[in-house]
Copies of this chain bind each other. A is one copy, B any other.
Amino acid sequence: MITSKLKCLLNNIVQFSEDEYGLIEPYFEHVTLKKNQVLLEEGQPCTSIFLVESGVLRNYYNNDGLDVNLSFTFENQFVTNFEAYINREPSKIIIQAIEKSEVWIIKSREFSKEKGSFANLSTLIRRIAIRVLLATEEHHNMMMINSPADRYRYLLEKKPGLIQRISLTHLASYIGITRETLSRIRSNKY
């Protein structure tokens, strides 16, 4: 069921009519995730885009038993694994709730045939794709900052919410350093 809250979120991106909401409704599913529950598993196909209504998702992959965090998705943000989504490959990445989260699953792969006859839906997916792209690019540019301490300071300035809500351990992997080093950066040892 498409709630008024969801409509409000979507209307920020594309204006839908009530008739259109009726048409797209079957492709929206609402789920509640417990802390640490996995939304997209490694090896699974990725046919959906996820929209976080509340809570936080962690987007990571596992490298020899070691987690590498790629992104965190907060309220009103979208996430998916584009590589798996576009190329119809099994996902190499894992998406997990790190707090209790309310998430909308947009099963956009399923209505791809209908998109041609439904311009607004096509526009919605395209705009979401661009948002996800820009978020990836931003993290990418952050990672190109040579010193880890500078990367942390960049986040402090540009993404204070991230620093507040994400644990030191997760943040360290996101910045590309060890827990210990981030702990020392934080206490101004460097």
B-contacting residues of A (Cβ < 8 Å)? 61, 63, 68, 70, 82-83, 86, 116, 119, 126, 129-130, 133-134, 136-141, 143-146, 176
CB-contact partner of A82 in B82, B134, B139, B145, under 8 A: B134
A37 and B137 alpha carbons, distance in the complex (Å): 25
Rounded to whole Å, the gap between the CB of A72 and the closest CB of chain B is: 14
- Sort A-B residue pairs by CB-CB distance and give the 7 closest, nearest first: A140-B140, A133-B133, A143-B143, A68-B144, A136-B137, A126-B126, A86-B130
A137 near B82: Cβ-Cβ < 8 Å = yes
Query: Assembly of this chain: how many copies?
Result: 2
A133 and B131 alpha carbons, distance in the complex (Å): 11
CB-contact partner of A137 in B63, B83, B126, under 8 A: B83
B129 near A130: Cβ-Cβ < 8 Å = yes
Rounded to whole Å, the gap between the CB of A122 and the closest CB of chain B is: 8
A112 and B37 alpha carbons, distance in the complex (Å): 42
B176 near A134: Cβ-Cβ < 8 Å = no
Nearest B residue to A144 via CB reads: B68
A70 and B83 alpha carbons, distance in the complex (Å): 19
CB-contact partner of A140 in B116, B126, B130, B139, under 8 A: B139
A70 near B136: Cβ-Cβ < 8 Å = no
20 A-B residue contacts at CB 8 Å? A61-B141, A63-B145, A70-B141, A82-B130, A82-B133, A82-B137, A83-B137, A83-B138, A116-B119, A126-B129, A129-B129, A129-B130, A133-B136, A136-B136, A136-B137, A139-B140, A143-B143, A143-B176, A144-B176, A146-B176
